[in-house]
Structure formats: C-alpha cells, structure tokens
Amino acid sequence: FLDAGNGTALTGKRVVITAGPTREPIDPVRYISNHSSGKMGYALANAARAAGAHVVLISGPVTLPAPAGVEVRRVLTAEDMLREASGAVDEGCDLFIATAAVADYRPEKCAGDKIKKSSDTMSLSLVRNPDTLATIAGRTDAPFTVGFAAETTDVERYATDKMQRKKLNMIVANDVAAPGLGFNSENNAVTVFWPDGHESIGPDSKTNIARRLVAMIGDHLNQQDP
C-alpha cells in the first residue's frame, strides 16, 4: 500500500501541536478570543500523521473534526493550553509546533455573575497570559520547537525577533494583512525562517502548505538529530 506521497519525514517521532484560539472568560456568558479557525494546526496534525508521526493536538475551541489517527486534547484558556501542552511534552516529545492564536491577556478575574450594564463606558482589567511556546522551548529537555508568527507589518523582522527571543529552531511567518490569506481563510502563504536561512511556501491551500512544512521541518529535525 502506498501513502499519499507524504513520505516518512517524521517516522516514529512524537509530535505535539497547539491549534486554534484560546477563550478567556469575562463572566459566565462572555469571553475574549480571536478569529483563529484552527485550520493550519489541524492541517499540520494531519500532515505530520501522514508523515509517520504520533501526534497529540492541543486544541482550543474550533469547529473542525478531529483528524483521523490524531489524539486531540481540548482546552479553553491560555492557562489550560500551557498545562496540557506541558503534560504532553512530559510524556515524550521530539517536535513541538505552536500554531495556536493564544490570547495575550485575560481578564484579571472572571465575574461570578453576568455583568450588568450601567455607565456609558466600562473598562476591564487584563493580565498577561503565560507563553506556552516560550515555556516549552525554554525547558532543559526542550524538543525541536517551531513557532508561528502572524504579523501585519515588518513580517521578517518581527518573526526572526520572536525566533531568537523564544529560542526556537524555526518560525513560520505569515502576513495576516494579505487579502484572502491567513486567519480564518482556506489559503495561506508563509515564509519559514531558521537561524541561517529562509524559504517561502505558497500561496496555496493550507493542506498543501502543511505537507510542505512537515517535509521542511522533518529535514531540519533529522539533520540536527538523525
């Protein structure tokens, strides 16, 4: 039996992927979130599985079906995402890919009852969320780590800064200001950076981008750790 041509780039590797948005509660009926659909992370989980990996997908709330052969662990908040991702890495992980659009801030406290409207303006006090990717990449037993950077300006500079700051092996940058690409869309175009090189992929479907990304990540991972 022949596979779909996705190769054996990740045969036997344990891969943990974060995907989707997080949801930070304000009160029992409201939350802060973003437009991430989870499509890129789910497509990567599928492609990594097809390339021979054991895949754990840590997923925020999305409407996508669980990819066949992939273990999905559902989370809501950024704090849940850090806890589940750390637990999955503890179980053994060769490659960690963070595609999730994590809310950078959460309400300082979640009101116990629905907040009633009163004055014409209101403010919410927000606190910084933990960074799952930086935490995993900073471990002494860190796996090969790949981050994503969604930027609207100065894509290359911001993406390579993030790679250095978070101590990543690779970063996948996408320009979310490009019309019809990126967030919540079927198609994407990305540039992958590593410490001494870069390569662009697309525009193409997220499925095809995911296949090419898995092949490229597999090459770098296997060069470093054959």
Q: Summarize as ranges the residues that interact with ligand CTP (CB under 6 A).
A: 18, 78, 98, 100, 102, 104, 129, 131-133, 147-150, 162
Burial class (CB in 10 A: 0-12, 13-18, 19+), 79: middle
Element (H or E) spanning 161, and its range? helix 155-165
Residue 109 annotated as binding site: no
Other beta carbons within 10 Å of 29: 10
Least distance (Å) between residue 104 CB and ligand CTP: 5
| Phi (first) and psi of residue 198, to 5 degrees | -160, 160
Least distance (Å) between residue 75 CB and ligand CTP: 12
The residues in 197-216 that bind Ca ion, with binding defined as CB under 5 A, are none
Q: Does 151 bind Ca ion (CB under 5 A)?
A: no
Reply yes or no: is the peptide bond before residue 203 cis, omega within 30 of 0.
Answer: yes
Catalytic residue among 34, 187, 208, 222: 34
Active-site residue, 174 included: no
Least distance (Å) between residue 111 CB and Ca ion: 25
| Shortest-Cβ-distance residue relative to Ca ion | 104
- The smaller minimum CB distance to Ca ion, of residues 10 and 82, is found at 82
Residue 204 annotated as binding site: no
Closest CA to 149 of 102, 108, 117: 102
Least distance (Å) between residue 100 CB and ligand CTP: 4
User: What is the Cα 92 distance to its own chain's centre?
Assistant: 18
Q: Which residues of 31-70 are buried (b: 16+ CB within 10 A; e: fewer)?
A: bbebebbbbbbbbbbbbbbbbbbbbbbbbbebebeebeeb
Q: Where are the beta strands (DSSP E) in the chain?
A: 14-19, 24-27, 30-32, 54-59, 71-74, 95-98, 105-107, 126-128, 144-151, 170-175, 187-194, 197-205
Select from ligand CTP, Ca ion, none the partner in contact with residue 129, using the beta carbon and a kind-dependent cut-off of 5 to 8 Å: ligand CTP
The residues in 163-182 that bind Ca ion, with binding defined as CB under 5 A, are none
- The smaller minimum CB distance to ligand CTP, of residues 131 and 175, is found at 131
Residue 167 annotated as binding site: no
Residue 162 annotated as binding site: yes
The residues in 76-115 that bind Ca ion, with binding defined as CB under 5 A, are 104
For the annotated binding site for CTP, the residues are: 104, 114, 148, 162, 166
Residues with active-site annotation? 34
For the annotated binding site, the residues are: 104, 114, 148, 162, 166
Residues at the interface with Ca ion (CB under 5 A)? 104
